[in-house]
Copies of this chain bind each other. A is one copy, B any other.
Amino acid sequence: MKRGSRKISAPALRARIWVERDSAPAFTEAGADLLEQIQVCGSLSQAARRLGFSYRRAWMLIDGMNKRWPLPLVQTATGGEHGGGSRVTEYGCRVLQSYRNLQAQVETLVDHASAAFHRETQS
């Protein structure tokens, strides 16, 4: 198993945060991305398309989030499955903002820790 020095690219530290309730994901990176696209498009199907999600996946994500928070994060107007438009509620905006704030803090920490990590793991 011994071997000489090899050409290997630098390691990149990655972090992901999410929120669980009852051990089930209640707010994830994919959910945050979807909420942001709904804010931009006002439509779940357009938001899904922009992210390369199937409409079904996007709908299930929203439905799951809406069930796992005390108030809905997204409201879908009546007018048929693809019809009525969707909007992120004021509460949904708040959860999204809190998630992005925490994510930014974790990413800052990981960026700052990178130099030490690389130093410690030099061969």
Interface residues of A (CB under 8 A from B): 1-3, 5-6, 8-22, 26-27, 66, 68-72, 75-76, 91, 94-95, 97-98, 102, 105-106, 109-110, 113, 116-117, 120-121, 123
Complex Cα gap A6–B67 (Å): 10
Complex Cα gap A117–B11 (Å): 31
Asked if B72 and A3 sit within 8 Å, CB to CB, the answer is yes
> Distance in Å from the Cβ of A92 to the closest Cβ of chain B?
10
Asked if B110 and A102 sit within 8 Å, CB to CB, the answer is yes
Complex Cα gap A90–B12 (Å): 21
Number of copies of chain A assembled together: 2
> Distance in Å from the Cβ of A28 to the closest Cβ of chain B?
10
Asked if A17 and B110 sit within 8 Å, CB to CB, the answer is yes
The closest CB in chain B to the CB of A7 belongs to B70
Given contacts A106-B109, A106-B110, 15 further A-B contacts (CB under 8 A): A8-B21, A10-B21, A12-B20, A12-B21, A13-B17, A13-B19, A13-B102, A14-B17, A14-B18, A69-B123, A91-B123, A98-B117, A98-B121, A105-B113, A109-B109
Complex Cα gap A20–B25 (Å): 24
